[in-house]
């Protein structure tokens, strides 16, 4: 199943970015259509391979053309033009009331055991589960600060024989809330971790932060906060048009704009997007650097997974509000978990997962 999903999700990234393809980077082969995955091969392998192909064809209850006009089927089965304003309002209302949360973030690492050791010993995460898929030549590990059915987690993917990835300059960092940043930094140093910004107040503010890097070079921002039910609190991505990105994540993803801050002295603006208050939920931090519209996304970071009650309606909203569907909504072969995968206007990938199917797969 992994190769099928790799083909479905990891096609071309943003039009603005070219992924490096070193000869040493070996990918799982695409299997033929008769390959039947076991139930253990769940939807979470969506980010393990480099772009390969596009899949199209699944249908939702409505299909939106590129200009945003809705086409619905009549009782006779023939297409009829729908009232676009009414349809759009209904879809907007549904998105707002959909049960959504950030499930996990997927990225690739070159030494799985070394990374697990760093995350558990230095960052205080727990190894929730680990799965080796030798026939597809990769291993997954899920880590976090609580059960997957209620917490945001990381999914690490190790592809056999691949020990290095290009992170690019589009991905920013992950955020972790800690009660004492200075103490956390001392622990990380004692364990041999790399600290790139010592503990201290953020520029222009009072929040104490620090920056570190994991063994693969992924950056983590440590933020000093009180006890939090969701310590894994941020994923930061850079975008080329902040207003466009905010509008897309509000309308298509149903996120709230939690806060927005402009930093003219340092020539950047950030917008925090999410499904609830930052002190209780993981958030997506969108960063716009003045005058920069394109970023290299590399081949390390993969995507974020989001829960939804209906992947078909989710696909309609994504299409309507400027996203690109790269894996049409529908069940995955062999396990029947329903998903839809998409790109935002900047080319960042996300996958929406049916909430009921997600809980079933965790059993």
Q: Is 173 known as a binding-site position?
A: yes
Contact, 161 vs 26, CB < 8 A? yes
For residue 212, pLDDT over 70 is answered with yes
Per-residue pLDDT at 62: 35
Q: How many other CB atoms are found less than 10 A from the CB of residue 100?
A: 19
Per-residue pLDDT at 205: 79
Per-residue pLDDT at 83: 58
Per-residue pLDDT at 250: 97
Q: Is 151 known as a binding-site position?
A: no
Per-residue pLDDT at 87: 82
In the chain, the domains with their CATH numbers are: 2-17+41-57+99-362 (3.10.180.10)
For residue 225, pLDDT over 60 is answered with yes
State the chain's mean pLDDT as an integer: 82
Q: What digits encode the pLDDT tens for the residues 250-279?
A: 999 999 999 999 999 999 999 999 999 999
For residue 214, pLDDT over 60 is answered with yes
Please state the separation of Cα 66 from the chain's center in Å: 24
Q: Which two tokens stand for residue 261?
A: 């801050």
What number of residues does the chain have?
A: 363
Q: Report residue 118: phi and psi, to 5°.
A: -65, -45
| Marked catalytic residue, from 148, 221, 316, 328 | 221
Q: How many other CB atoms are found less than 10 A from the CB of residue 139?
A: 19
* Average pLDDT estimate for 328-336: 90
Return the higher-pLDDT residue of 242 and 332. 242
For residue 29, pLDDT over 70 is answered with no
Q: How many other CB atoms are found less than 10 A from the CB of residue 136?
A: 24
CA–CA distance, 185 with 167 (Å, rounded to integer): 23
CA distances from 41 to 77, 78, 137, 307 (A): 37, 39, 13, 18
* Average pLDDT estimate for 351-356: 98
Q: What digits encode the pLDDT tens for the residues 235-254?
A: 999 999 999 999 999 999 99
User: Is 221 assigned a catalytic role?
Assistant: yes
Q: Is 213 known as a binding-site position?
A: no
pLDDT tier at 363, thresholds 50, 70, 90: confident
Q: What is the DSSP string of 286-308?
A: EEEETT-------SSEEEEEEEE
Q: What digits encode the pLDDT tens for the residues 81-119?
A: 445 666 888 998 999 999 999 999 999 999 999 999 999
Per-residue pLDDT at 84: 61
Q: Is the dihedral of CA 74, 80, 83, 87 positive or negative?
A: positive
Give the pairing type, strands 283-289 and 232-238.
Answer: parallel
Per-residue pLDDT at 86: 64
pLDDT tier at 197, thresholds 50, 70, 90: very high
For residue 123, pLDDT over 90 is answered with yes
Q: Where are the alpha helices (DSSP H) in 41-101?
A: 84-97
Q: What digits encode the pLDDT tens for the residues 33-66?
A: 333 333 334 444 444 443 333 322 333 333 333 3
Beta bridge partners of 64: 70
Q: What digits encode the pLDDT tens for the residues 141-195?
A: 999 999 999 999 999 999 999 999 999 999 999 999 999 999 999 999 999 899 9
* Average pLDDT estimate for 308-318: 97
Percent of all residues in the chain with a pLDDT value above 90, rounded to a whole number: 69
């Amino acid at each position: 199943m992994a190769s099928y999903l790799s083909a479905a999700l990891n096609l071309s990234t943003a039009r603005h970015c070219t992924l490096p393809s070193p000869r040493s980077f070996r990918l799982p082969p695409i299997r033929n259509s008769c390959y039947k995955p076991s139930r253990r091969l769940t939807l979470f392998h969506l980010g393990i391979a480099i772009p390969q192909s596009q899949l199209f064809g699944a249908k939702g209850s409505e299909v939106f053309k590129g200009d945003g006009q809705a086409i619905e089927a009549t009782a006779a089965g023939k297409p009829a033009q729908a009232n676009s304003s009414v349809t759009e309002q209904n879809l907007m209302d549904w998105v707002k009331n959909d049960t959504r949360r950030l499930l996990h973030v997927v990225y690739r690492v070159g030494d799985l055991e070394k990374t697990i050791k760093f995350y558990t010993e230095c960052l205080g995460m727990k190894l929730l589960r680990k799965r080796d898929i030798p026939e597809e030549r990769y291993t997954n590990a899920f880590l976090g600060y609580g059960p997957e059915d209620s917490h945001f987690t990381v999914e690490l993917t190790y592809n056999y024989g691949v020990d290095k990835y290009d992170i690019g300059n589009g991905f920013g960092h992950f955020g972790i809330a800690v009660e004492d940043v200075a103490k956390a930094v001392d622990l990380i140093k004692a364990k041999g971790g790399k600290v790139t910004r010592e503990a201290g107040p953020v520029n222009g503010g009072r929040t104490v932060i620090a920056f570190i890097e994991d063994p693969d070079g992924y950056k983590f921002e440590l933020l000093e906060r009180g006890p939090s039910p969701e310590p894994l609190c941020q994923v930061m991505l850079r975008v080329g048009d902040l207003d466009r990105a905010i509008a897309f994540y509000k309308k298509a993803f149903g996120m709230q704009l939690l806060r927005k801050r402009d930093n003219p002295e340092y020539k950047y603006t950030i917008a925090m997007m999410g499904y609830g208050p930052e002190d209780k939920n993981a958030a997506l931090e969108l960063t716009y650097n003045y005058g920069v519209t394109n970023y290299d996304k590399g081949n390390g970071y993969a995507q974020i997974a989001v829960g939804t009650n209906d992947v078909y309606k989710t696909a309609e909203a994504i299409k309507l509000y400027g996203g690109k569907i790269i894996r049409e909504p529908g069940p995955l072969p062999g396990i029947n978990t329903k998903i839809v995968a998409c790109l935002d206007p900047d080319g960042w990938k996300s996958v929406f997962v049916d909430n009921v199917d997600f809980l079933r797969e965790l059993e």
